[in-house]
Chain A
Amino acid sequence: MDAILQIVITGLTLGSMYALGSVGLALTYGTMGMFNMAHGVFMTIGAYASYTAATVWGLPLPVAIAFGILAGGIVGALMHLLVVRFMLSRDDFQTTIMVATAGVAILFQDLILKQFGAYPFKQPVQIEGMFRIGNTVIAYQSIAIMAMAAVLIGAMAWLLTKTRFGLAIRATAMNQNAAKLMGVKTELTYLQVILIAGTLAAAAGILISSLASLSPGMGTNPLIRAFVICVVAGLGSVTGAGLTAIALGVMEAGIGYYFGARYGFPVMLGLVILVLIFRPAGLFGKQGVIRA
């Protein structure tokens, strides 16, 4: 029983981080058809920004977290204004944007390396302490990770489903020209989508680094996992990405316990192959449709 509870807690913690990391990726793909290779570096930027705010500038932790999240959004917006918007009308946008955003990712990773070096700094955004359920110890940090993921993803779901802003995003995702004819400023919508994706990624980066440490390459692994989650869920399915992330997190923890920690990620990759063979659009996906 203790082991099962431990698996669930670990799985939900991992799944929450994966969910935050992957829904932004799903959102940009679902809305713009853009697979953002810089999504991982947004996570890194968020983590380093909150570290800088808390440790270097000595700001209170809530302010540091907010600053980190904001930094991810700002960098995302800048990437849109300086790179993405000039490529949107290209016929081969889906391919070229991957190369372009990969370039942006390398640039930012190198800038971070130059500025901070490769020393694995400790993320100060951490909550000490724990409580027990039976013999299982649950860290407040795990609860904080789950809560933060739930709040941010919930807020995004509300935005997408209950507001005119979300309606504009969904309309743009379904048909850009039709949305334009209906008065939607699609360019602005794209900017807003990348800004949201950047903030979610930055939040994921802060949470991931709170359980690890800071390093310029810290976004690479989560990006691969986010990609796996998006493919399994169906590229573009935001709700699907969130649910798949939680499920895969729990599955990874369960496989780690029953079969060995080393099998968790390989099984995830195996799942991708199976999904691509038997359900190419993913478990929740429909090509070109964003579903909130």
Chain B
Amino acid sequence: MTNNSETKSVTSRRGFLKNAGLGTVGGAVAVTGLGTAASAQSGEAVVIGGPIQMTGGGAADGIEFKQGLEMAAEEINAAGGILGRPVKIAIADTESGGDDKITSAGQRLIDRDGASALITGYNFGSQIALQNVAADASVVYMHADTARAHTALVGGDPEKYWQSFMYCPSEVYYGFAYLNYIKNLEETGQFKGVNKKIALVTGPIQYSINIANSIKDEATKYGYEISLYETVDAPTNEWGPTLAKIREDEPGFIVVTHFFPGDQAQFMKQFLTNPTNSLIYLQYGASLAAFRDIAGDASEDVLYATNIGVLSGEVGSDFAARYTAKYGEKASPNGGAQTYEALHMYAQAAAMAGGVGEAYDDVQNKKIADRLRGMIYRGPTGSIRFDPKTQQAYSYPVQTNDPSLGMSHIFSQIEKKEENGKIISPTPYSVKEFRVPSWIKM
């Protein structure tokens, strides 16, 4: 009996590493650590807490985050768990709310559910709430808030926030990347705007505001001017007044950084009733299946970008196929991939560190944090490598020219409403050329 289980365990751990797409230095370390540390670990389940927005405006993503965690946990468990301990997922709903909801959800997961780590996609609020919960409880916290607030917080006090990791770059890069991209489109003759005006529409969430501001602040350096800066509420279903302003002063480019997929879908539907000759870029929300589902035909030709989206190529395509096979065609691999790869990365770091630490065990959890800081993990959305000072993933091509050393900032365009957008930049992940949107009559 014992022999059987040991044999099964060794085989399955190899399978786990294979499934996780790990062919890195970290993988070798984890394998060597298995034999000694595994015996020290009990068979008790490791609880991973997911403080996730399961209701409210961010729920479309929240569902994917939950599924990503569950899928990763199933794979890890099928391969023998983390050094023999199965992974159990506990979810607490942050209700798309502010810091009060987010903090209490994180605290509940630790105190009530016994979470050893907190892993999520993004939440709203100040985006520095869960770092404090994690710091107080000495648990590893991994998130994709895409928030400059994280880098400022962790970079400012690394002693306190050793446990908090943002596994994607901050939103500040969206501004540079967008301006770079449209300038390149014009310079290479792929697109010529009717003018150099950019109409910016942002929302009430800090993420949206920061991206809009980064475009606003840098636009003139790239030769563009901001013709409209509009802030809308969430939700915004009736876009008439905003569209009237856009139509009165036709811009060559429209950027909507308010990222709720339902609101973006309504924007497109109402825009297309009387379109201007504007290239439309929708921040993030358009990458979700919910956007295409609601917008229908109006989703086609829209541009969007994400710095944590599923890439083309073997790892990304394999994940996307397995994810949609498991959760249906309406599921969005872009969302699920985030928590999926974060949990796999955490599991490998914990294995390399000799096991999972419980809450308030800062000795063991610091070992895991050290492994995370030193790892390069190649998941469906690219390579996660943390800046050791800010514990934020590096961005490719903004911070590094090597796609194997940074998360790719990808631009995509929706070709068909039934399919996810196709990556049009950067190389080596682009699979399609940019096409001029059908509503533009130049």
Contacts A122-B293, A217-B56 given: A212-B237 contact, CB under 8 Å?
A: yes
A261 to B233, Cβ gap below 8 A? Answer: yes
A120 to B262, Cβ gap below 8 A? Answer: yes
CB-nearest residue of chain B relative to A259? B241
Interface residues of B in 210-246 (CB under 8 A from A): 230-233, 235-238, 240-245
B273 to A130, Cβ gap below 8 A? Answer: yes
Contacts A9-B240, A137-B273 given: A3-B248 contact, CB under 8 Å?
A: yes
Q: How far is the CB of A245 from chain B (nearest CB, A)?
A: 14
Q: Kindly state whether residue B431 has any CB partner on chain A within 8 Å.
A: no
A residues in contact with B248, CB < 8 Å:
2-3
By DSSP majority rule, is chain B's interface helix, strand, loop, or mixed? helix
A residues in contact with B230, CB < 8 Å:
260-261
Contacts A211-B266, A212-B266 given: A120-B59 contact, CB under 8 Å?
A: yes
Interface size of B as a range = 35 or more
B273 to A120, Cβ gap below 8 A? Answer: no
A261 to B231, Cβ gap below 8 A? Answer: yes
B55 to A10, Cβ gap below 8 A? Answer: no
Q: Kindly state whether residue A216 has any CB partner on chain B within 8 Å.
A: yes
Q: How far is the CB of B64 from chain A (nearest CB, A)?
A: 10
Contacts A130-B273, A213-B262 given: A6-B240 contact, CB under 8 Å?
A: yes
Q: Kindly state whether residue A119 has any CB partner on chain B within 8 Å.
A: yes
A216 to B244, CA, bound (A): 31
A3 to B274, CA, bound (A): 13
Q: Kindly state whether residue A172 has any CB partner on chain B within 8 Å.
A: no
Count of chain A residues with Cβ under 8 Å from any Cβ of B? 37
B204 to A10, Cβ gap below 8 A? Answer: no
Q: Kindly state whether residue B133 has any CB partner on chain A within 8 Å.
A: no
A137 to B271, CA, bound (A): 10
A119 to B63, Cβ gap below 8 A? Answer: yes
A213 to B240, Cβ gap below 8 A? Answer: no
Q: Kindly state whether residue A90 has any CB partner on chain B within 8 Å.
A: no
A120 to B204, Cβ gap below 8 A? Answer: no
B59 to A7, Cβ gap below 8 A? Answer: no
Contacts A118-B54, A119-B63, A119-B330 given: A262-B240 contact, CB under 8 Å?
A: no
A257 to B244, Cβ gap below 8 A? Answer: yes
Interface string of A119-150 (1 = CB under 8 A from B): 11110000000100001110100000000000
Extra contacts, 5 of them, besides A3-B248, A257-B241, A261-B230 (Cβ < 8 A), are A2-B244, A2-B247, A6-B244, A130-B273, A139-B270
User: Which residues does B use to contact A, with CB under 8 Å?
Assistant: 54-56, 59-60, 62-63, 204, 230-233, 235-238, 240-245, 247-248, 261-263, 265-266, 270, 273-274, 290, 293-294, 296, 330
